[in-house]
Amino acid sequence: MIRAFAVLAAMLLTSVAHARQAPQVDMSLRDLDSGAVLPVYWSGGRAHVPGSAGHRYAVVLENRSAERVLAVLSVDGVNAVTGETANPAQSGYVLGPWQRTEVRGWRKDLSSIAEFVFTDLGDSYAARTDRPDNVGVIGVAVFRERQIVPRYDAPDYFDEGDYKRNARPPAPSAGAQARESESAVKSAAPRARQELGTGHGTRRYDPISRTEFVRASNQPSQVTSLYYDDTEALVARGIIQHHRHPARQSPQAFPSSFVPDPPRWR
């Protein structure tokens, strides 16, 4: 058994039809100051999100399956629940079937968090705890729950030879595919200097409860990563190709319907 955390029932529950190839758990970022879900830009097989320094944000997790799952959340290479250097074997959040929740900060105890806030790299929680190497990425490792399967005795006419002759080599697990994908990413060229990190923000009330969760496998069924930085840094790297400043209103030949009074004579 592994100790995990269940989000209270007060959190939003949604029933959303999931696409055939959709991940089991969707992850996105929501800016808590503007209220907007941050857009995603794809480059080199990575998903990039632009953040704004000083803004608070939430990691939005949505379970698109009819079973409970464990979501181990990493922010800047740090487990968002325990504060340890992140590893998929650690504690995380348990999501019920079709459940959507927002993780808004570093878990301080069962009743409170320290808010996630975009800040300068040097002021990030990871950098301030001497772990700056993975600042700029948010990841989730998803585990399915072990199901109890009824036991039965195999019939005595089972021919092991036929089984071996007809057996196919096992397909690579989702966890193995995720590791291969991560290895491919790590082999890419070093990226430019990271500008944003995630700070240890204001403490706020955010209750959860404990629950038990038995993993179906030691390997995650899904690993998803979101890379973030400020907009100008992403533009400079060519990740945001068509970034434009807000357009000024086009000039108008007839800006007013009537002739205004002239200025008064001095």
Predicted confidence (pLDDT) per residue in 233-248, tens digit: 999 999 998 645 444 4
70-97 average pLDDT score: 97
The answer to whether the CB of 137 falls within 8 A of the CB of 77 is yes
Between residues 206 and 160, which one has the greater pLDDT? 206
Q: Tell me if 258 is assigned to some domain.
A: no
Q: Tell me if 115 is assigned to some domain.
A: yes
What pLDDT was estimated at residue 1?
47
What pLDDT was estimated at residue 252?
55
Strand-strand pairing, 93-95 and 2-7 = parallel
The answer to whether the CB of 98 falls within 8 A of the CB of 171 is no
The residue behind tokens 């955010």 is: 206
Residue 19 in this model has a pLDDT that exceeds 50: no
What pLDDT was estimated at residue 89?
95
What pLDDT was estimated at residue 255?
55
pLDDT band at 86 (very low <50, low <70, confident <90, very high): very high
pLDDT band at 39 (very low <50, low <70, confident <90, very high): very high
Between residues 58 and 178, which one has the greater pLDDT? 58
Residue 130 in this model has a pLDDT that exceeds 60: yes
What pLDDT was estimated at residue 20?
38
What pLDDT was estimated at residue 22?
75
What pLDDT was estimated at residue 137?
97
The answer to whether the CB of 25 falls within 8 A of the CB of 224 is yes
What pLDDT was estimated at residue 247?
44
Percentage above 90 pLDDT, the chain: 64
pLDDT band at 122 (very low <50, low <70, confident <90, very high): very high
What pLDDT was estimated at residue 264?
60
Distances (CA, A) of 171 to 168, 190, 260: 9, 32, 77
**Pick from 58, 56, 67: nearest CA to 24:** 67
Mean pLDDT of the chain: 79
What pLDDT was estimated at residue 193?
83
Q: Tell me if 34 is assigned to some domain.
A: yes
Between residues 245 and 204, which one has the greater pLDDT? 204
Number of folded domains that form the chain: 1
Q: For 133-153, how does the pLDDT look when each residue is reduced to its tens digit (9 = 90+)?
A: 999 999 999 999 998 776 666
Q: Tell me if 47 is assigned to some domain.
A: yes
Q: Tell me if 192 is assigned to some domain.
A: yes
pTM, two decimals, is 0.71
Q: Tell me if 86 is assigned to some domain.
A: yes
The residue behind tokens 């400020």 is: 230
Domain that holds residue 40: 2-146+157-236
Q: Tell me if 14 is assigned to some domain.
A: yes
pLDDT band at 225 (very low <50, low <70, confident <90, very high): very high
pLDDT band at 17 (very low <50, low <70, confident <90, very high): very low
Q: Tell me if 246 is assigned to some domain.
A: no
